[in-house]
Amino acid sequence: MGWTYRKSIKMGPFRLNLSRGGVGHSYGGRGFRVTKTADGRRTITVNLPGGLHWKKTIGSSRR
């Protein structure tokens, strides 16, 4: 098992994610979030009260 690195910097509803693979970012709050990962994938996440959630990945990895 190798070492990994991940650091998240929050600036209000915007979050900058630093990892060994690159830089990603996300925007939104608890109920709705749009994320672009370091490898180019985009993910939309919707969380509803009561533990219900929906997640959709758009696009595929560049690698």
| 32 band by pLDDT with thresholds 50, 70 and 90 | very high
Say whether pLDDT at 50 is over 70. yes
pTM of the entire predicted model = 0.71
The Cα 12–Cα 21 span in angstroms is 24
Tell me the domain boundaries of the chain.
6-58
| 47 band by pLDDT with thresholds 50, 70 and 90 | very high
DSSP-derived letter for residue 39 is T
Chain Cα centroid distance, residue 55: 11
